[in-house]
Structure 1
Amino acid sequence: MPTPRPLAIALVIALAAGLASPAGMAAKKKPASKKAATPPACTDFYAEANKGWLAANPMPSSGAISALGQLTARAQQQQRDLLDAAMSAPQNNVQKLLGDFWASGLDEASVERDGAAPVAPLLKRIDSIRKPKDIAPAIAALHHVGIPVAFHFGADIDLRDLDRHLGYFSQGGLGLPDPAYYTREDADTKALVARYADYIRKILALTGVAQKDIETQTALVLDLEKRIASLARPLVDLRDPRNTFAPVATAGLGKQYRNLQLDAFLQVQGVNDDTVSLANPAMFAQLDALVGSLKPTQWQAYLRWRVGDAMAPYLSKSWREAAFGFRGKVLLGQAEPAPRWQQTLDAINLAAGPMLGREYAAAHLPDATRRQAEAIADQVRDALVQQVAGGSLLGEAAKDEARKKLERLRIEIGTPRYDLDYTVQPMGRGSFGGNMLIASTWRHRQEMKRIGKGNANRRWDVLPQQPALAYDLAHNRLIVTAAMLQAPVLDAAMPADAQFGAFGALVGHELSHAIDGRGRHIDAKGEIRDWWSPAETGAWETLAQKVTALYAGLPYPGLTGTRVDGALTRDENIADLAGLELAHAVLVAARPDGGAQADKAFYTGWAQLWAQQVTRDEAEIRARQDVRAPGPWRANAAVMQQPAFGAAYACKAGMPMQPKPEDRVVIFN
């Protein structure tokens, strides 16, 4: 449903000085012996800059609300409006596809009539399995429609050549999120597995398994999933991408894994590359053995279950209730399912997100806004080049590498540079589940097209209709989605100086990652190597320790006796400080005569990004897990480090927002 828009970005003006007459001020003067009150901006700038928003958005009963959260909600409403228009009066073929998809999902009566019909052809294919050699083609066919079974196969970066994607064979095919759940013996895990078994029973019954066979088939499913889980590596081991990267030639896969028929699998997916990554050959050898040794009836039970589980959210009510009862309530702790429109929108974004993104950008990203965003991003990049060149953090060789890397950095605004092939089987309005399979097959095919040489940078891993602004380390590019270019980040209604403080500082935050402690591991040519010297690494660590100490001394808003975790939030805090530094340098260059009023608008633009209301329970979770500082400190801690802020608001030494010069932390200046 629609959500209230954040208040427009406004200048913070010292009204007393502008409105009071000299005579009136003289009449109201306090005795000289009394200490003058600290201006609100010098006490808590976050609260002063966001007082209108905070008054209009009281604390929720649970969770949190924020200005950026409202931006996300607004983007969702814009997607709904776009889909409504496409449903009633499509203007092109893509809109016709989207409109039919949307209409089929909203028509709950039609979804009920459709029942299990969308998955009937898939179940018939599974029922036709008679012997072990029939299993691998069924696995490949399910992957082709976007239902991964037995293992996972997807496109990801080739760590030897960042300009290409490889196909990655990796562990997967389980219904529980962690392989360890299948082997743990504690009471809580056993209870969870018991609930999971109940869910399997419900789905198998809905797929047509006779009641007399439910227990047997449920046991077969659990047995096969336990076997697969026993071959998997712990999730913590997969956090390092190097542990999942093991390139092998595709030519020998068919002979090496005869039962899985991985050569034929790749052909079905449309992949003809000469190399794939297969990091756990022992697991695939065991899977291959299971295909040859287990009875086909066990594989049939497992595959029926995986199809039913994957498609349950898009079928009739009994399917959806079974899925939500376990995945929503048990795994996610949700009390109620999302409204129907939200479920349908999520499905469209999952299966046809790039289609919707194309139309969203055309409708909601004016050319003028795109050009302004590109201009600001270019200016921030130039400022980073200049500050690194003039700073003492890096030596001459590293400065030269940083300059080359930033000069080669690409800035992509709104949508990916390369469009997709939108040739899709027509979608009618009578089968939401059928449309989901059509769209999912198209999306899978587009993902498979990523695999090969020279095309890795053609895709984004975020959709244009999802608010995001990020530095892509692997491809040395800044990505700004169409949905991000709205208030409070950037829109035409914002004062130009506030645009630098909001959008410009966010760009600076992200671009700093190109040459920071993370960016140092990929050089200007896109090769993986550390281009810092030990001395530069030591200097960075010294700086990082100062930032850690700065934030570790700050009380966590809404919690008594808790402070910000300076170590957990260190890297993002450094980027905040750097981003505001860079954006202010751009402001000064663009508005050399702007003075205090320009600075006030600039800092207000920054602070209004972080407006939020967070309940105590939510704050306790974030204090332990969030890698970013809480909103009030993202706003205040960064501006406190800049002398221009104190000058703009006439903050004097000793006031809360005016630290001593020697206590300030500077990143690149």
Structure 2
Amino acid sequence: MTLRPLFCALVIGLTAGLASPSAGAQEAADACTDFHGFANAGWLMANPLPAGADTISALGQLETRARQEQIDLLNSAMQAPQGPIQQLLGDFWASGLNEAGVEADGAQPLAPLLDRIVAIKRSKSIAPAIAALHQVGIPVAFHFGADIDLADLSRHIGYFSQGGVGLPDPAYYLRTDEPTQAVMGQYRAYIEKILALTGVKDKELAKQAQLVIDLETRLAKASRPLAELRDPRSNYGAVDTAGLAAQYPNLELDKFLEAQGVSMPTVSIASPTRLAEVDRLVGELKPEQWRAYLRWRVGDSMAPYLAKAWRDAHFDFHGRVIAGASAPPAREQQVLDAINQAAGPMLGHEYAARFLKPETRAEAMRITGQVRSALADSLARDTRISEQARAEASAKLAKMKIELGVPARDLDFTIQPMGRGSFGGNMLIASTWRHREEMRRIGENNADRRWDVLPQQPALTYDLAQNRLIVTAAALQAPLLDPLAQTATRYGSFGALVGHEISHGFDSRGHHIAADSEIRDWWTPQDASTWETLGYRVVGQYGGFDVPMLNGTKVNGVATRDENIADIAGVQLAWEAFNKAAPEADKKSKEAFFEGWAGLWPQHMSAAAAAQLAAHGVHAPGKWRTNGPLMNMAAFGTTYGCKANAPMQLKADERVVLRPEPVVEKRKK
């Protein structure tokens, strides 16, 4: 029941606890030494790292607030629903919070699914059962989902891809080392627990679990390593649907697509050998083995939404063994997670209606438009890039779409009534609806129907395929666009993040998609060389920064390069937009701009979390997300009166200037 996004979202946060500026010489010196510590002094003191926690940040606090807003909305919908969508959500929420009712419900929500599986007596019944489980959001044997057609970015097609096993990596089934074998032993025990809960007799558990592991191992052997799946192009293989029934006769893929409501003449099958293996297994393995496997997949997928025995078994393996968690989330959080997974767009629709004010959206659109105009002006005067690339970039920017708050195209919220009697049953109803709406995205001119984030999740993201900036409703709230904050602060926070995101349309990834939405490289060799030279400078600069909490460890300049460049670009574009909007801004307003940027990134981390970020993160630590871009701006040093040799004031020839400053004509006397 998971949805795999093709393009990731950048989630952002901001704290209200900014240090108030004042005009002392000592404070100015502090600002010029470490602006992150200076501007965020109040937050850093008021928010120590809680005992046992790995990290605390302004970003995390915004996520916590958005989560509480969702809970408040669901409580209101449970008590006094306003409209049919809130009625559904309120019933869903109430059924999940009623733990006594969940216990009494037992495994009843699974009964119709298990009855169908038990009825499988011959191979011909396997393919229809696979199709039916996909319809309710339980992918078995393989994964099938909607995604961008890489040959035509205006549409979605259906993607057949590997999946349908209980472990996150096919390598688990194939390695023979002792740690892996230990995990496999625990996995076998977990399978037996779930099969027992579905009604398998004790004397049959060992045999049935072995049938499951054998089938999943066969699927794993036909799967590609996860490293090969990271490039979206490696997951794409367009084929005509007309020949699928003959090519995969046991899976009856023509009937499978019909059951999912898909009628497009093209689908993607990146690994036909894997799908052929599934087809062969359907024809050759005994129905008894498929019954065991399908029963197991239903139980494992639904375990988090059933009685405590199911939830405990699921957490003990997936939570403790695989994820390394020490305790499951609180019941309220579990239910909220389930609703977001199965009915997230419904909750997002109501969240935006309640929490996003029209005037806030209008302010966000105003600043976004100004930052985009700043980028347009910058591109027009940037002589470092070729005339060809400049023309293409300008055309692409002019076509860039902006969606703030909620998707421009809404979903069909027609759904079977839920009621408050069965949380597991409601989960299946909602998952069936979510799957139906996902399948409806498959079709011509449908690519813009997808958001890879939900409106209730604080996020800004640039949708590379659609040349579209997406800003969720949860991101458009105080203090990011606090109506009580100075206008300059909003440019420094929200405006800079907008600049960060839209700059991705023209960077090392963005130059592969042209203004006409075709996948082609519109950079000249000289443009690529210019970018690489710039990248080397940024890598060298950030690679000299120390990682907080880790003595002697430096920021990985290579891994963080593109995000660091986007940070620098975002602040410089927002600064230009702010100065054009407020050309007579005073010193205090300019300080508020820089404090707005700094206020996005305060954080405390444990040494373990810092080490994890240093090893695997694509973003620099918060200190350097604040300081790095500002060190490259002469305007920052001028505003705070920094001396030439101050840490926050790089020499002119050391600064990375992504956007040439506008030429200001001197007035004639």
Give the TM-score range, shorter chain: over 0.9
> How do 1:452-531 residues align onto structure 2 when only pairs under 5 Å count?
452-531=443-522
Q: For residues 61-88 of structure 1, give each alpha carbon's deviation from its aligned partner in whole angstroms, at most 9, with x where no partner exists.
A: 3310001110000000000000000000
Find out whether 1:12 has 2:49 as its counterpart: no
- CA distance in 2 between partners of 1:558 and 1:667 (Å): 30
- CA distance in 2 between partners of 1:113 and 1:620 (Å): 45
Q: What SS does the corresponding residue of 1:593 show, helix, strand or coil?
A: coil
Q: For residues 210-245 of structure 1, give each alpha carbon's deviation from its aligned partner in whole angstroms, at most 9, with x where no partner exists.
A: 111001100100000001111111111111111111
- CA distance in 2 between partners of 1:504 and 1:330 (Å): 42
Q: What is the aligned counterpart of 2:207 among 208, 212, 216?
A: 216
Instruction: Find the counterpart in structure 2 of residue 621 from structure 1.
Output: 612
Read off the aligned partner of 1:55 and give its amino acid letter: M
In terms of mean alpha carbon deviation, does 51-60 or 213-222 score higher? 51-60
Read off the aligned partner of 1:300 and give its amino acid letter: R
Instruction: Find the counterpart in structure 1 of residue 249 from structure 2.
Output: 258
> How do 1:102-501 residues align onto structure 2 when only pairs under 5 Å count?
102-501=93-492
Instruction: Find the counterpart in structure 2 of residue 564 from structure 1.
Output: 555
Between the aligned residues of both structures, percent identity stands at: 58
- CA distance in 2 between partners of 1:134 and 1:203 (Å): 23
CA contact (8 A) 1:238 1:244 kept: yes
The structure-2 alpha-carbon separation of the partners of 1:417 and 1:375, relative to structure 1 and needing over 3 Å to count, comes to: same
CA contact (8 A) 1:38 1:655 kept: no
The structure-2 alpha-carbon separation of the partners of 1:6 and 1:515, relative to structure 1 and needing over 3 Å to count, comes to: closer
Q: What SS does the corresponding residue of 2:172 show, helix, strand or coil?
A: helix
CA contact (8 A) 2:17 2:43 kept: no
TM-aligned CA deviation for residue 440 of structure 1: 0.1
TM-aligned CA deviation for residue 37 of structure 1: 8.8
Q: What SS does the corresponding residue of 2:154 show, helix, strand or coil?
A: strand
CA contact (8 A) 2:486 2:589 kept: no
Q: For residues 356-381 of structure 1, give each alpha carbon's deviation from its aligned partner in whole angstroms, at most 9, with x where no partner exists.
A: 00000011110011011111111111
TM-aligned CA deviation for residue 661 of structure 1: 1.5
TM-aligned CA deviation for residue 5 of structure 1: 9.6
CA contact (8 A) 1:170 1:278 kept: yes
Q: For residues 514-543 of structure 1, give each alpha carbon's deviation from its aligned partner in whole angstroms, at most 9, with x where no partner exists.
A: 111110000000000000000110011000
> How do 1:603-642 residues align onto structure 2 when only pairs under 5 Å count?
603-642=594-633
TM-aligned CA deviation for residue 135 of structure 1: 0.3
The structure-2 alpha-carbon separation of the partners of 1:5 and 1:402, relative to structure 1 and needing over 3 Å to count, comes to: closer
Read off the aligned partner of 2:443 and give its amino acid letter: G
The higher radius of gyration belongs to 1
- CA distance in 2 between partners of 1:235 and 1:324 (Å): 24
- CA distance in 1 between partners of 2:549 and 2:281 (Å): 54
Instruction: Find the counterpart in structure 1 of residue 61 from structure 2.
Output: 70
- CA distance in 1 between partners of 2:383 and 2:553 (Å): 35
Q: What is the aligned counterpart of 1:53 among 43, 52, 58?
A: 43
- CA distance in 1 between partners of 2:301 and 2:177 (Å): 28
CA contact (8 A) 1:71 1:486 kept: no
Q: For residues 175-197 of structure 1, give each alpha carbon's deviation from its aligned partner in whole angstroms, at most 9, with x where no partner exists.
A: 00011110101101000111000
Q: For residues 589-643 of structure 1, give each alpha carbon's deviation from its aligned partner in whole angstroms, at most 9, with x where no partner exists.
A: 0110003222100000000100111111111111111100000111011111111
In terms of mean alpha carbon deviation, does 252-261 or 485-494 score higher? 485-494
CA contact (8 A) 1:393 1:668 kept: no
- CA distance in 1 between partners of 2:286 and 2:439 (Å): 31
- CA distance in 2 between partners of 1:7 and 1:412 (Å): 25
Read off the aligned partner of 2:32 and give its amino acid letter: C
Aligned length: 647
- CA distance in 1 between partners of 2:296 and 2:384 (Å): 57
CA contact (8 A) 2:360 2:477 kept: no
- CA distance in 2 between partners of 1:371 and 1:179 (Å): 48
TM-aligned CA deviation for residue 493 of structure 1: 2.1
Q: What SS does the corresponding residue of 2:500 show, helix, strand or coil?
A: helix
Read off the aligned partner of 1:226 and give its amino acid letter: T
- CA distance in 1 between partners of 2:14 and 2:554 (Å): 31
Q: What SS does the corresponding residue of 2:165 show, helix, strand or coil?
A: coil
- CA distance in 2 between partners of 1:219 and 1:562 (Å): 47
In terms of mean alpha carbon deviation, does 237-246 or 129-138 score higher? 237-246
- CA distance in 2 between partners of 1:617 and 1:240 (Å): 29
Q: What SS does the corresponding residue of 1:251 show, helix, strand or coil?
A: helix
Q: What is the aligned counterpart of 1:40 among 30, 44, 58?
A: 30
Q: For residues 233-271 of structure 1, give each alpha carbon's deviation from its aligned partner in whole angstroms, at most 9, with x where no partner exists.
A: 111111111111111111121122111010000111011
- CA distance in 2 between partners of 1:657 and 1:283 (Å): 55
- CA distance in 2 between partners of 1:92 and 1:496 (Å): 36
TM-aligned CA deviation for residue 9 of structure 1: 4.9
Read off the aligned partner of 2:21 and give its amino acid letter: V
TM-score scaled to structure 2, two decimals?
0.95
The structure-2 alpha-carbon separation of the partners of 1:442 and 1:37, relative to structure 1 and needing over 3 Å to count, comes to: closer
Q: For residues 293-342 of structure 1, give each alpha carbon's deviation from its aligned partner in whole angstroms, at most 9, with x where no partner exists.
A: 11000000000000000000000010001000100000011111100000
TM-aligned CA deviation for residue 487 of structure 1: 3.4
TM-aligned CA deviation for residue 38 of structure 1: 6.3
Read off the aligned partner of 1:239 and give its amino acid letter: R
- CA distance in 2 between partners of 1:589 and 1:559 (Å): 41
CA contact (8 A) 2:14 2:599 kept: no
TM-aligned CA deviation for residue 60 of structure 1: 2.7
TM-aligned CA deviation for residue 10 of structure 1: 6.4
CA contact (8 A) 1:409 1:477 kept: yes
The structure-2 alpha-carbon separation of the partners of 1:215 and 1:545, relative to structure 1 and needing over 3 Å to count, comes to: same
- CA distance in 2 between partners of 1:553 and 1:487 (Å): 34
Q: What is the aligned counterpart of 1:589 among 559, 568, 580?
A: 580
Read off the aligned partner of 1:406 and give its amino acid letter: L
Instruction: Find the counterpart in structure 1 of residue 7 from structure 2.
Output: none
Q: What SS does the corresponding residue of 1:137 show, helix, strand or coil?
A: helix
Q: For residues 422-481 of structure 1, give each alpha carbon's deviation from its aligned partner in whole angstroms, at most 9, with x where no partner exists.
A: 000001101000000000000000000000100111220110000110100000000000
Q: What SS does the corresponding residue of 1:530 show, helix, strand or coil?
A: coil
Read off the aligned partner of 2:651 and give its amino acid letter: K
Find out whether 1:599 has 2:590 as its counterpart: yes
- CA distance in 2 between partners of 1:491 and 1:129 (Å): 59
Find out whether 1:574 has 2:565 as its counterpart: yes
TM-score scaled to structure 1, two decimals?
0.95
The structure-2 alpha-carbon separation of the partners of 1:537 and 1:6, relative to structure 1 and needing over 3 Å to count, comes to: closer
- CA distance in 1 between partners of 2:658 and 2:176 (Å): 49
Q: What SS does the corresponding residue of 1:338 show, helix, strand or coil?
A: coil
Gapped runs of 5+ residues in structure 1?
18-35
Read off the aligned partner of 1:45 and give its amino acid letter: F
- CA distance in 2 between partners of 1:615 and 1:60 (Å): 10
Read off the aligned partner of 2:162 and give its amino acid letter: Q
- CA distance in 2 between partners of 1:37 and 1:600 (Å): 13
TM-aligned CA deviation for residue 11 of structure 1: 5.0
Read off the aligned partner of 2:551 and give its amino acid letter: T
Read off the aligned partner of 2:134 and give its amino acid letter: H
- CA distance in 1 between partners of 2:598 and 2:195 (Å): 53
- CA distance in 1 between partners of 2:457 and 2:549 (Å): 29
CA contact (8 A) 1:11 1:600 kept: no
Gapped runs of 5+ residues in structure 2?
1-12, 661-669
The structure-2 alpha-carbon separation of the partners of 1:454 and 1:37, relative to structure 1 and needing over 3 Å to count, comes to: closer
CA contact (8 A) 2:14 2:480 kept: no
- C-alpha root-mean-square deviation of aligned residues, in Å? 1.3
- CA distance in 2 between partners of 1:454 and 1:501 (Å): 36
